[in-house]
Structure 1
Amino acid sequence: ADRMPSHVAVIMDGNGRWAEERGLPRREGHRAGAAAAREMVYGALEIGLRHLTLYTFSTENWKRDPEEITTILKGIQREVDEETIRDLDVRQRWSGRPDELPEDLVQTLLSRERRTRTRSGLTLTLCINYGGRDEITRAAAALAQAAREGEVDPHLLGEDDFARHLPCPEMPDVDLLWRTGSEQRTSNFLPWHTAYAELYFTPGYWPDMDRRDLWQAITEYSRRQRRRGGVGAPLTSTENHQPSPHARPDPRH
């Protein structure tokens, strides 16, 4: 338990490819991906994870076919409308720009934030119409405005000052960034928060994932040493003195 991450962020990749390999329309992949996301919420609650952030729709996703974009956004709207996790101890958050998103979706997301803000279990953040560089640009603009109004001294700025001007200042740093679907890049996802995150890439497509895969990712995290620029803990005696494969067995055992 003392090696549990506090915050896991997930790039849920492979929905479309999962469907195409099965001869299905891509929309079926997104539907299956939504079911996998619900499964991860249950898995996170079961293991006691504090924060789970899901990359749901990026600012770059607007480059896709309009029909697929409509399918994705309608699927997100359906998920938040159905409130499948309504009775769970989950605080729901949204990170992203409202621009271009359907107004009904924006209002529903804001309503879920207000209604669940006092819950103390899992904090689930959906990144919808989110871009990491956009987030940093917006924070820089807010900080410049604050400096112009005399609220901050530009010569005394620190990381905490910048973090307070991010669109979601309450979001903690990410401990583990997990991406499915074989790709090994972070794709403009939470660049500020993942500066020291452990990276974990798996080949399976997102719709095939279930809570056991989340637990496996967390298990892998627990085996790693997080140095953050310092020196790691020394190896234990058992790690330093592994028996030789050719050593004779101890007759006392």
Structure 2
Amino acid sequence: MTSNTLPKHIGIIMDGNRRWAKKRLLPAALGHASGAKRVRSLVETCIRTNIPHLSLFAFSTENWRRPPEEVSVLMNLFASYLQKEVDDMEKNGVCLKIVGDQSKFSEELQDLISRAEKQTQHNTKITLRVAANYGGRWDMVQAAQSWQRANPNASLDSLTENSLAPFLCTADAPEMDLLIRTGGESRVSNFMLWQAAYAEMFFIDTLWPDFTTKQFNEALEWFSKRDRRFGSAAPF
């Protein structure tokens, strides 16, 4: 693989934490905790291979439907992750951005997010986006609403793809090149629908806590061999 064949923006749907725990007769909380531990090695691999953007699906707008005790565990795990990892992120050149509707989070969690983002905002080795209380449809709706607020006298007829894009949560990122989903499911589950419009999609049966650096590199190798035409005709 060369730098020209590597993706610039990778998205990952980290699926399988609960099933991983169930197979081991463990509570779901331990599955989520084990999954969180995988993030560090993945970020380090991206830094080593010069992949500048990584987006992780941590908590969707639909995940609030899960049992309240599991949601509480996920929120506590998120807060703990921010507290434990932010210093190392700063040291290792990781710029952390949390994308999604933060209004449903506790004030304490919102404060942790704000501090973590400010502490890492000038880092340039990789931008790590964690999608929390995020949905692709929500992102497009809020982008349209933000565009309208910024252009109160404009007609909707003047709204174009190019004019809407700067209002998306990922306005400062390139479009997604590679979308990986672990856990054996073959769907995008409302994750960055706009951004992944032309992403290559790599589905793997491995549950997220068991997803290895080797398998991540296999996904990169698979991507490097894809013929990406973006809707154009294949050459004769």
| Structure 2 Cα separation of the partners of residues 62 and 88 of structure 1 | 33
Residue in structure 2 matched with residue 156 of structure 1 by the alignment: 158
| Structure 2 Cα separation of the partners of residues 101 and 200 of structure 1 | 31
Indicate conservation of the 8 Å contact 1:89/1:122, yes or no. Answer: yes
Residue in structure 1 matched with residue 192 of structure 2 by the alignment: 190
Residue in structure 1 matched with residue 118 of structure 2 by the alignment: 114
| Structure 2 Cα separation of the partners of residues 121 and 37 of structure 1 | 16
Residue in structure 1 matched with residue 107 of structure 2 by the alignment: 103
Residue in structure 2 matched with residue 139 of structure 1 by the alignment: 143
| Structure 2 Cα separation of the partners of residues 99 and 119 of structure 1 | 26
Give 1:158 shift: 2.2
SS of residue matched to 2:102:
coil
What RMSD over aligned residues (CA atoms) do the two structures have, in Å? 1.4
Indicate conservation of the 8 Å contact 2:21/2:30, yes or no. Answer: yes
Q: Give the TM-score normalised by structure 1.
A: 0.87
SS of residue matched to 2:151:
helix
Amino acid at match of 2:209: P
Residue in structure 1 matched with residue 26 of structure 2 by the alignment: 24
1:52 aligns with 2:54: yes
Give 1:72 shift: 0.9
Q: Which of these residues, 89, 104, 111, is aligned with residue 93 of structure 2? A: 89
Change (3 A) 1:35 1:233: farther
Once the two structures are superposed, residues 36-77 of structure 1 have per-residue CA deviations (whole angstroms, 9 ceiling, x without a partner) of: 111211111121111110001111110001111111111111
Give 1:233 shift: 4.8
| Structure 2 Cα separation of the partners of residues 153 and 119 of structure 1 | 39
| Structure 2 Cα separation of the partners of residues 168 and 201 of structure 1 | 23
Larger Cα Rg: Structure 1 or Structure 2? 1
Indicate conservation of the 8 Å contact 1:8/1:174, yes or no. Answer: yes
Residue in structure 1 matched with residue 228 of structure 2 by the alignment: 226
| Structure 2 Cα separation of the partners of residues 82 and 72 of structure 1 | 15
Indicate conservation of the 8 Å contact 2:97/2:127, yes or no. Answer: yes
Query: Can you give the 5+ residue segments of structure 2 that lack an aligned partner in the other structure?
Result: none
Residue in structure 2 matched with residue 179 of structure 1 by the alignment: 181
Amino acid at match of 2:125: G
| Structure 1 Cα separation of the partners of residues 16 and 155 of structure 2 | 45
Amino acid at match of 1:196: Y
Residue in structure 2 matched with residue 78 of structure 1 by the alignment: 80
Query: After alignment, is 169-178 or 225-234 more displaced?
Result: 225-234
Give 1:85 shift: 3.0
Q: Give the TM-score normalised by structure 2.
A: 0.94
Give 1:99 shift: 2.0
Residue in structure 2 matched with residue 251 of structure 1 by the alignment: none
Amino acid at match of 1:131: G
The number of aligned residues is 232
Residue in structure 1 matched with residue 171 of structure 2 by the alignment: 169
Indicate conservation of the 8 Å contact 2:53/2:126, yes or no. Answer: yes
Amino acid at match of 1:76: F
| Structure 2 Cα separation of the partners of residues 122 and 77 of structure 1 | 21
Once the two structures are superposed, residues 178-221 of structure 1 have per-residue CA deviations (whole angstroms, 9 ceiling, x without a partner) of: 00000000000001100110111000000001222221111111
Point out the structure with the larger helix share. 2
